[in-house]
Chain A
Amino acid sequence: SAVISQKPSRDICQRGTSLTIQCQVDSQVTMMFWYRQQPGQSLTLIATANQGSEATYESGFVIDKFPISRPNLTFSTLTVSNLSPEDSSIYLCSVEGGQGAFHGLDTQYFGPGTRLTVL
């Protein structure tokens, strides 16, 4: 499967500031996604990062709060804007990329995550 990295791995931010998270993949992938995992909770899809066009956001998530860039097929950024303590979560990117016959090409693999704490 693809090797996925995220930067930063963790950060502590002040209320009202913004944090930009980078997701880098070692091979070209068609689909990239951004998820949020609140402490002790499940994963919730924020948006699909589309290459060359605006991201597709899920219900409850808006572009002003979570702007996303996808300049090419190996890289995406998620910005969490105007931070509040409620934004404290782990943010994960995922990519689609099968690893042969056992899993399909649409199998999703996750990056290591970015742990955000907002004070």
Chain B
Amino acid sequence: GENVEQHPSTLSVQEGDSAVIKCTYSDSASNYFPWYKQELGKRPQLIIDIRSNVGEKKDQRIAVTLNKTAKHFSLHITETQPEDSAVYFCAAAGGGNKLTFGTGTQLKVEL
């Protein structure tokens, strides 16, 4: 089955800096890669996703890149703000739309 690795497990940045979280996947058949943000005590919230026919996608301060050849995808957050502090999960899905999640990254944006 699919295996998703996520790095780093914790990330601390200064407000206004950029943050990058990286994930790799094992199943070359996976074609859908969402990113979720989970604040303490709350549900995971979809923040951005990308499909295998696209190399990059942006939504304001958030972007995701996908390298299918290398089987890795990354989340980029620019101009970080304190409210970006949360746990971020990447995931991968192939046939059947079953999501396999990475282990999560605790992002802390410091003032």
A interface residue numbers (CB < 8 A to B): 31, 33, 41-45, 48, 58-59, 92, 96, 102-104, 106-113
Contacts and interface: CB of A to CB of B under 8 A. Distances in A.
Contact of A42 (B42, B45, B49, B102): B102
Nearest to A1: B46
Interface residues of B, number: 23
B63 to A, nearest CB: 14
Given A31-B97, A106-B32, A42 B43 contact: no
A108 B99 contact: yes
A45 B98 CA distance: 8
Nearest to A4: B43
Interface of B: 1, 32, 34, 36, 42-46, 49, 51, 59, 89, 93, 96-104
Interface SS, B side: strand
B43 A48 contact: no
B99 A109 contact: no
Contacts of B34: 107-108
Contacts of B102: 42
Contacts of A31: 97
Contacts of A103: 46, 49
Contact of B103 (A42, A96, A112): A42
A102 B46 CA distance: 12
24 contacts: A33-B98, A41-B103, A41-B104, A42-B89, A42-B101, A42-B103, A43-B101, A45-B98, A45-B99, A45-B100, A48-B98, A58-B98, A92-B44, A103-B46, A104-B32, A104-B49, A104-B51, A106-B97, A108-B34, A108-B97, A109-B46, A110-B36, A112-B42, A113-B43
